[in-house]
Amino acid sequence: MEFINLLSSFFLLLGSIFIITGAIGIIRMPDFFLRMHACSIIETLGVFFLSVGMILLSGISLNSLKIILLLLVIFFVSPTVSHIISQAAKHHSSPSEKQ
């Protein structure tokens, strides 16, 4: 039981590290598409490790199943949103905006 708690703390801290990395990327990247890359780091790796830590924290129960379903929903939704945003940005970008 102690080992499981330690493992869940490790995964939660790993997810926090990825989230901080993505936050630094969002505020420091110079271009829109690079900032989108930083956002996708948060929405894949940071979210995945945070969810794994919470699943290990609650053990085998209904809450774990709900978190797995939530992770599945996020993994289908966030690439869709990223694809739509990048398509709209490519569609809207004018030649004067490109550096």
Partner 1 sequence: MALIVACVSLLILILVCLFRVIFGPTIFDKVLSASTIGTSSIFLILIHSYNSGRPDFIDLSFVYALLNLVGSVAILKFLKLGDLGSSFNRSGD
18 in Cβ contact with 39 (< 8 Å):
no
Binding flag, residue 68, partner 1 (CB under 8 A): no
Binding partner 1 by CB under 8 A: which of 4, 34, 59, 89? 89
Quick count: other Cβ atoms within 10 Å of Cβ 50? 20
Sketch the per residue contact string, 21 through 50, with partner 1: x for CB under 8 A, - otherwise. Answer: -xx--xx----x--xx--x--xx---x--x
Give the residue from 3, 69, 92, 82 showing the smallest Cα distance to 36: 82
38 in Cβ contact with 22 (< 8 Å):
yes
Element (H, E) at 33: helix 32-41
Which residues here bind partner 1, judged by CB under 8 A? 8-10, 12-13, 15-16, 19-20, 22-23, 26-27, 32, 35-36, 39, 42-43, 47, 50, 53-54, 57-58, 62-63, 66-67, 69-70, 73-74, 77-78, 80-82, 84-85, 87-89, 91-92, 97
